[in-house]
Amino acid sequence: MPGADAAQVPRHIAIVMDGNGRWAKARFRPRSFGHNAGRKAVRDVVEGCLRQGVEALTLFAFSSENWQRPQDEVSALMELFLRALDKEVDELHAQGVRLRFVGDLDAFGEELRERMRAAMTRTAGNAKLQLNIAVNYGGRWDIVQAARQAARAVAGGQLAIDEIDEARFGQWISLAGLPPLDLFIRTGGDVRISNFLLWQAAYAELYFTDTLWPDFDQACLRRAIEDFARRERRFGRTGEQVAQA
């Protein structure tokens, strides 16, 4: 697959991987079958990002709200994450991928937390692709946890209230230090953000597709990147200003 023009490749892509359940239902199979197929799509899209030179990929694997799903589905998802960690980390490490989990990890069992920590430590020196898996994540939670850190810094006397500005506050938000989010993709047909990366998506281009997540592959990723490359990103300026820059 030829890489797109490097200047037009988004540096950071986030994906709401939606549609696993419907994909499985269409095949008269349990929802866990769809999640398992979704895992294969994750592998393919990671491969596509590596090929195209995307620097960071952030995937919404489990939202703060997903705990409300039937208990057997939640358990199956946890089991799937554990198995995926066991199976995929070697390969990701060999490919130069740095793995991070973002979200409120305290809610998970000790075994899963320990394996997430081990995977993060093991891959910490890799720099080819930053792969962030959002688990028990919510965009509002993220802003609130940053606000708590800001309040702590003020209470501790390290910071004055008026010193809190967007740049400073942004340092406490998850994924600080990574390239800004350029492209936000949602599969599965719904046109909403669903409490993912609210702060980080401020200037992201949004891309929605009806394709169900298990069917999303490298060709779909390429189409999304091509669509991104055609957008004019103005960041609040006029088209003329952008053309002159």
- Give the other-Cβ count within 10 Å of 202's Cβ: 12
63: which strand partners?
A: 137
Kindly tell me which of 92 and 146 has the beta carbon lying closer to ligand FPP. 92
Contacts of 77 (CB under 8 A, 6+ apart): 32, 35, 62, 66
Question: Distance (Å, rounded) from C-alpha 220 to C-alpha 158?
Answer: 47
Residue 44 or 149 with smaller CB distance to ligand FPP: 44
Cα–Cα distance between 86 and 96 in angstroms, integer?
A: 17
d(CA 116, CA 75): 17
- Could you give the CA distance from residue 10 to residue 8 in angstroms, rounded to a whole number? 6
Rule CB under 6 A: say whether 103 interacts with ligand FPP: no
Please check whether residue 158 is in contact with residue 125, taking contact to mean a CB–CB distance below 8 angstroms: no
**Which structure tokens are listed for 123?**
């891959």
- The CB-of-214 to ligand FPP minimum distance in angstroms stands at 8
Binding flags for ligand FPP, 3-22, as an x/- string (CB under 6 A): --------------xxxxxx
Non-local CB neighbours of 96 within 8 Å, separated by 6+ positions: 50, 126, 127, 128, 129
38 counts as binding ligand FPP under rule CB under 6 A: yes
Minimum CB distance to ligand FPP smaller for 10 or for 188: 188
State how far the Cα of 81 lies from the Cα of 135, in Å rounded to an integer: 10
Q: Least distance to ligand FPP from the beta carbon of 171, Å? A: 26
Q: Identify the residue among 9, 84, 220, 221 touching ligand FPP (CB under 6 A).
A: 84
35 binding ligand FPP? (CB under 6 A)? yes
Distance CA 69, CA 62 (A): 11
- If one asks whether residue 66 binds ligand FPP (CB under 6 A), the answer comes out as yes
Token pair of 139 as six digits: 């965009």
Token pair in block for residue 95: 């490919």
Q: Which residues are known catalytic residues? A: 18, 66
- In the complex, what is the shortest distance from the CB of residue 217 to ligand FPP, in angstroms, rounded to a whole number? 13
Among residues 188, 204, 207, 224, the one that binds ligand FPP under rule CB under 6 A:
188
The residue whose Cβ lies closest to ligand FPP is: 21
Q: Which range of residues in 32-40, 162-170, 197-205, 221-229 is near ligand FPP by CB under 6 A? A: 32-40
Nearer to ligand FPP, 136 or 172 (CB): 136
Summarize as ranges the residues that interact with ligand FPP (CB under 6 A). 17-22, 31, 35, 38-39, 42, 59, 61, 66, 80-81, 84, 133, 188, 213
